[in-house]
Amino acid sequence: PLAHLAMRPVTWQVYYLVAILTLALMALVLPNLRIQSAAMPQLLSDSQSTILGQPIPISQPRWEPRTPLAMSRSRLAVVRVDDQLYALGGETTDGHTVANVDAYDLQVNVWRSREPMPLSLANLAAAPLGQHIYVAGGSTEATETGTELISDQFWVYDIATDSWSQIGKLPYPLAGAELLAVDNALYLIGGWDGQAAQREVWRYSPPAEGAPAADTDSSTGLAEWALITRMPTARAFFGAVYAKEEIYVIGGYDGQQEEQRADAYMLSTNTWRELPPLPTARGGLRLVYDGLDIVALGGGWTHSLDTNERLDLNTNVWSNFPSPLPGEWRNFGAAEYRGRIYLLGGWSGDYLDIHLQYQSSFSLLLPVIKND
For 244-339, list the strands marked E by DSSP. 246-250, 262-266, 271-275, 286-289, 293-297, 305-312, 317-327, 333-337
Instruction: Please report how many Cα atoms fall inside a 13 Å half-sphere around the Cα of residue 158, on the Cβ side.
Output: 12
Q: What is the CA radius of gyration of the chain?
A: 23
Q: Using CA atoms, how far apart are residues 148 and 140, in angstroms rounded to an integer?
A: 6
Q: pLDDT value at position 44?
A: 95
Contacts of residue 127, Cβ cutoff 8 Å, sequence gap at least 6 = 79, 133, 134, 179, 180, 181, 186
Report residue 137 CA to chain centroid gap: 15
Neighbours of 214 (CB within 10 A): 14
Q: Chunk the chain into consecutive blocks of 10 residues (it has 372) and report each block's average pLDDT, rounded to whole numbers.
A: 54 63 55 45 89 90 97 98 99 95 98 98 98 98 75 98 98 98 98 97 85 48 89 98 98 95 98 98 98 96 94 98 95 98 98 97 60 60
Nearest residue to 236 via CA among 340, 163, 150: 150
Q: pLDDT value at position 223?
A: 80
Where is 218: in which H helix or E strand?
Answer: none
Interior angle at CA 89, CA 182 and CA 82, nearest 5: 45
Say whether 18 sits in a helix, a strand or coil. helix
Contacts of residue 83, Cβ cutoff 8 Å, sequence gap at least 6 = 105, 106, 107, 337
Spatial contact of 149 and 143, defined as CB atoms under 8 Å apart: yes
Contacts of residue 38, Cβ cutoff 8 Å, sequence gap at least 6 = 302, 303
Q: pLDDT value at position 36?
A: 40
Q: pLDDT value at position 207?
A: 84
Q: pLDDT value at position 34?
A: 45
Q: pLDDT value at position 13?
A: 62
Q: pLDDT value at position 9?
A: 56
Query: What are the CA-CA distances from residue 37 to residues 32, 42, 311 (Å)?
Result: 9, 10, 29
Where is 52: in which H helix or E strand?
Answer: none
Q: Which amino acid is at 312?
A: D
Say whether 337 sits in a helix, a strand or coil. strand
Task: Output the CA torsion sign for 19, 22, 26, 28.
Answer: positive
